[in-house]
């Protein structure tokens, strides 16, 4: 859901840049407290994985629409929300600069939607549901719900920004909201399934320091949460 140049009016994309810049500088301050030497390569690798996975569009309705992993909940669950924001911002900046995916003017909005709001929504939902739902199954259900909600939150933000840019296309916000949320309800199912699979797989590999011996680091990370 990368917004290209031309979709947003100046007021909207400029405001989004300001809000994103503020959120990111807060996120950088917070992630300084979280980042250890061991975390640095993990951030690089998680960003690389999300970039690669975002290239793999899966069909939602064959021949009509597709979606791809967003990765905001994935990164937030594995590395905490502040690192996740840095990761998603890096991915979005590279996609825009090198691949023409998402516009230069829209980068602030894309960061706000996918690197800030999706990350915080996914992380908050994960914390909430994993506390309520017990056991390994409960955790996986929590990961699924968090991932689905992160996509819905980003889609809602995108629709609202497009709605604020009425002067560009003369389409009222309600007409944008309904199909944006409708399509992303389906795309979010893919997000949830992929995120559950990837979290379980990379934790088995020992990626997030969650192997025996890595426990203290995991606890520290979660204390630095929201």
Partner 1 sequence: MKAVYKVLLIALLVAAVLSPLASSSPDGLERVATDLGFIDKGEGKNIIDALIPDYLFPGIENEAVATAAAGVLGTLITFGAAYGLARLVKKREAGR
Looking only at residues 5 through 24 of this chain, which bind partner 1 when binding is defined by CB under 8 A?
5-7
> Among 2-10, 12-20, 126-134, 138-146, which window interacts with partner 1 (CB under 8 A)?
2-10
CA distance 155 to 225: 24
- C-alpha angle 100/106/107, rounded to 5°? 75
CA distance 146 to 143: 5
Pick 138 or 214: Cβ nearer partner 1: 214
SS3 58: strand
Among 190, 158, 217, 212, smallest CA distance to 57 is for 190
CA distance 146 to 132: 13
Should residue 146 be labelled a site residue for partner 1 when binding is judged by CB under 8 A? Answer: no
Should residue 28 be labelled a site residue for partner 1 when binding is judged by CB under 8 A? Answer: yes
CB 192 within 8 A of CB 225: no
CA distance 173 to 158: 11
CA distance 226 to 222: 9
**Minimum distance from CB of 135 to partner 1 (Å)?**
24
**Minimum distance from CB of 131 to partner 1 (Å)?**
27
Residues 42-61 that bind partner 1 (CB under 8 A): 42-53, 55-61
Among 37, 132, 134, 219, binds partner 1 (CB under 8 A): 37
Contacts of residue 112, Cβ cutoff 8 Å, sequence gap at least 6: 16, 19, 20, 23, 157
Residues that bind partner 1 (rule: CB under 8 A) add up to a total of: 77
Residues 58-87 that bind partner 1 (CB under 8 A): 58-68, 83, 86-87
Should residue 33 be labelled a site residue for partner 1 when binding is judged by CB under 8 A? Answer: yes
Residues 91-110 that bind partner 1 (CB under 8 A): 91, 93-101, 103-105
Residues 150-209 that bind partner 1 (CB under 8 A): 155, 158, 168-169, 171, 175-176, 179-180, 183-184, 187, 202, 205-207
Pick 47 or 76: Cβ nearer partner 1: 47
CB 191 within 8 A of CB 150: yes
């Amino acid at each position: 859901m990368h917004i290209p140049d031309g979709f947003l009016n100046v007021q909207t994309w400029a405001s989004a840049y300001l809000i994103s810049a503020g959120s990111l500088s807060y996120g950088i301050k917070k992630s300084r407290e979280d980042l250890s030497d061991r975390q640095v390569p993990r951030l690089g690798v998680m960003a690389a994985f999300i970039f690669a996975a975002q290239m793999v569009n899966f069909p939602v309705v064959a021949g009509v629409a597709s979606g791809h992993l967003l990765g905001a909940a994935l990164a937030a669950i594995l590395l905490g929300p502040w690192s996740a924001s840095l990761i998603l911002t890096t991915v979005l900046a590279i996609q825009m600069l090198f691949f023409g995916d998402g516009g230069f003017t829209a980068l602030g909005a894309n960061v706000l939607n996918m690197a800030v709001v999706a990350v915080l929504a996914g992380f908050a939902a994960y914390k909430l549901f994993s506390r309520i739902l017990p056991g390994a199954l409960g955790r996986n259900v929590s990961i699924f719900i968090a991932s689905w909600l992160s996509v819905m939150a980003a889609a809602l933000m995108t629709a609202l920004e497009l709605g604020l840019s009425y002067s560009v296309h003369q389409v009222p916000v309600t007409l944008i909201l309904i199909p944006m949320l409708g399509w992303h309800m389906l795309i979010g199912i893919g997000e949830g399934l992929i995120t559950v699979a990837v979290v379980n797989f990379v934790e088995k590999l020992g990626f997030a320091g969650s192997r025996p011996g890595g426990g203290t680091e995991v606890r520290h990370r979660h204390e630095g949460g929201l």
